[in-house]
Amino acid sequence: MPIPTKQVTKETLVAEVLQLKNAGWRIVTATCVDLNENEFDLIYHFDKDLQMEHLRLTVPKGAPVPSISGVYLAAFLVENEIQDQFGLCFDGLALNFANHLYLDDEVATTPFCKFGVVRKTAAAE
Amino acid sequence: MAQTILPFGPQHPVLPEPIHLKLTVEDEIVVDALPALGYVHRGLEKLCDIRDYNQMVQIVERVCGICSKIHAMCYCQGIEEMMGVEVPDRAKFLRVIWSELHRVHSHLLWLGLFADAFGFEALFYQFWKIREKVMDINEATTGNRVIVSVNQVGGVRRDLSAEQLRWIDAELKVVEAQVRALRATTLDDYTVKKRTKGIGVLSSAQAMELGAAGPTLRGSGVAQDMRQLKYAAFDRLDFQPISYPDGDSWSRCAVRYDETLQSIDLVRQAMARLPEGELSVKVKGKPEGEVVTRVEQPRGELLYYLKGNGTNNLDRCRIRTPTFANIPPLVVMLPGLELADVPVVVLSIDPCISCTER
């Protein structure tokens, strides 16, 4: 059984996250899942009074995703981790390590992908 | 005033593990902090591609030595939920006993390290001396001091005899008395308060917004603890989360001090109510589906996202550890502090880099 999630799109993600923040939800983390050769699942996990809410965003590989670090600053760390591990690019990251949170300069692969993706170079802010 | 960038870590006397903070200072005051990770990243999550779901129990135990038991319990709970396995009652209580023993030794380790961070070495030695008794219990009951490999999918692999339970109870009486004897020195001493009161303040609103977890969250007045989810046998134990309102380093220390005694009490409760019965059930089939499961580590909320595909290997094993959640709050706590307070505040979140860079 899949976990109960609310499906969002790139266009509605930030608004949905903002709504959760205004309602007092705490961000727990985000999870990236390599679905197949073409898509990732991004699942955002939130908590309020020990209840959880999950938002699911299915995105094509290679396409940038809006960052939610403008809403929850804490998300910058997990978004940078996903950038490192899966090669997904986040637009508007509050603090962008540009694929170097964990990885050294010479690493050009996306180590957590079953199906490799071409890493897009993002300029450090 | 001219700004200087100072490297704090990755090798630093107060850091047992490597993390680097790039501190921007004006004179002696921190104005900005930037974390740098990646010194010990191991990519353990990815091992689910080549290790089957049973072997992964031993892998996740090695995410962190200090809370190995709790990682394995969280993982097993997730797999059991996915596969519809009901764990025997005795195994649930035994899981609580060993996980709370882990919390006791982890908090005692931290209390010692924290004392060392503000220069109180005698207190450091005292806490670590007490901790040895808990490590002895671990070794005597599981065969290991740190990686106590007692969990398996479907239950636990070891039992506790009546004689062992009596011995643990007697040892914990000594531990409790020794910890209580250090209360005034740890929390009321003038010098300790001078170094920790009002230092590294994180308000409850900031803690919630920045996603803080565990004692860092509860030290800011938010009484949230994953043990309230009543996993394992917590539904049959008396438990209330401990919180302190001030949000400073002293409050985070007080939470951990009180939780040490609370965990001793929880071990006693679990031992007193330990039912007879099987240690594990036979697990058939292969995990399929998705599950999110959470437990309370010594450092806070631990989350596992697991995705099975009906084979022996999981599609994804995602681990969110509490220190990972407490780094953004740390980055916000540091600006405005004097440089000399940085080690104390960094230690106050109980950073576990082994967990963070799983």
Going by pLDDT thresholds of 50, 70 and 90, the confidence category of residue A125 is very low
Nearest-Cα distance to chain A for B233, in Å, is: 17
Going by pLDDT thresholds of 50, 70 and 90, the confidence category of residue A107 is confident
SS3 (DSSP) at A19: helix
* Measured distance CA(B155)–CA(B332) in Å, rounded: 41
pLDDT single digits (tens) B244-264: 999 999 999 999 999 999 999
Going by pLDDT thresholds of 50, 70 and 90, the confidence category of residue A3 is confident
- Of B9, B184, B10, B182, give the one whose Cα is nearest residue B112: B182
Cβ(B72)–Cβ(B302) below 8 Å: no
In which region does residue A83 sit, left (phi positive, over 0), alpha (psi from -120 to 50) or beta (all else)?
Answer: alpha
In this model, does residue A43 exceed pLDDT 50?
Answer: yes
pLDDT > 90: percent of chain B:
80
Dihedral (C-alpha) B38, B39, B45, B51: value to the nearest 10 degrees? 150
In this model, does residue A123 exceed pLDDT 50?
Answer: no
CATH of the domain at B190: 1.10.645.10
Cβ(B290)–Cβ(A2) below 8 Å: yes
pLDDT single digits (tens) B196-217: 999 999 999 999 999 999 999 9
Residue of B208, B290, B324 lying closest to A77 (CB–CB): B324
**Chosen from A22, A44, A47 to mutate, greatest number of chain B CBs within 10 A:** A47
User: Is A1 within 8 Å of B357 when comparing Cβ atoms?
Assistant: no
CB-based contact, A31 to chain B, within 8 Å: yes
DSSP state of B45: G
In this model, does residue A116 exceed pLDDT 70?
Answer: no
Closest chain A residue by Cα to residue B295: A50
Q: Kindly write down the DSSP assignment for every residue of B83-134, as one continuous string.
A: HTPPPPHHHHHHHHHHHHHHHHHHHHHHHHHHHHHTT-HHHHHHHHHHHHHH
Strands (E), chain B: 3-8, 20-26, 29-36, 151-152, 155-156, 288-297, 300-309, 314-320
Going by pLDDT thresholds of 50, 70 and 90, the confidence category of residue A6 is very high
In this model, does residue A124 exceed pLDDT 70?
Answer: no
- How large is the average pLDDT for residues A85-108? 84
pLDDT single digits (tens) A17-27: 999 999 999 99
CATH (residue range A6-91): 3.30.460.80
Nearest-Cα distance to chain A for B274, in Å, is: 27
Going by pLDDT thresholds of 50, 70 and 90, the confidence category of residue A119 is low
Going by pLDDT thresholds of 50, 70 and 90, the confidence category of residue A117 is low
Question: CA end-to-end span of chain B, whole Å?
Answer: 40
- Of B144, B74, B129, B76, give the one whose Cα is nearest residue B296: B74
Q: For residue B352, what pLDDT is reported?
A: 84
**A111: which 2 tokens?**
């180590």
CB-based contact, B290 to chain A, within 8 Å: yes
- Of B344, B244, B302, give the one whose Cα is nearest residue B102: B302
Q: For residue A68, what pLDDT is reported?
A: 95
Q: Between B249-272 and B162-181, two packed helices, what is the crossing angle to 10 degrees?
A: 160
User: Is A50 within 8 Å of B320 when comparing Cβ atoms?
Assistant: no
Domain boundaries, chain A: 6-91
- pTM for the predicted model, two decimal places: 0.93
**Chain B CB contacts of A95 below 8 Å:** 34
Question: CA end-to-end span of chain A, whole Å?
Answer: 40
Please provide residue B239's backbone torsions phi and psi, each rounded to the nearest 5 degrees. -150, 130
DSSP state of A4: P
Residue of A28, A31, A50 lying closest to B211 (CB–CB): A28
Number of domains within chain B: 1
User: Is A28 within 8 Å of B303 when comparing Cβ atoms?
Assistant: yes
CB-based contact, B208 to chain A, within 8 Å: yes
* Measured distance CA(B100)–CA(B89) in Å, rounded: 17
* Measured distance CA(B157)–CA(B142) in Å, rounded: 9
Strands (E), A9-70: 26-34, 39-48, 51-60, 65-66
pLDDT single digits (tens) B173-187: 999 999 999 999 999
Long-range residue pairs from A36-44, CB within 8 A, at least 24 positions apart, any chain: A36/A115, A37/A61, A37/A115, A40/A86, A40/A88, A42/A82, A42/A88, A43/A3, A43/A5, A43/B305, A44/A17, A44/A68
Q: For residue A122, what pLDDT is reported?
A: 47
**B355: which 2 tokens?**
């967990």
Q: For residue A108, what pLDDT is reported?
A: 74
**Chosen from A7, A18, A26, A33 to mutate, greatest number of chain B CBs within 10 A:** A26
Low-confidence ranges of chain B (pLDDT < 50): none
**Chain B CB contacts of A114 below 8 Å:** 49
Domain holding B65, by residue range, is 3-356
**Chosen from A5, A21, A28 to mutate, greatest number of chain B CBs within 10 A:** A28
In this model, does residue A102 exceed pLDDT 90?
Answer: no
In this model, does residue A120 exceed pLDDT 60?
Answer: no
- Of B311, B198, B192, give the one whose Cα is nearest residue B249: B198
Q: For residue A115, what pLDDT is reported?
A: 67
* Measured distance CA(B339)–CA(B263) in Å, rounded: 34
Q: For residue A118, what pLDDT is reported?
A: 56
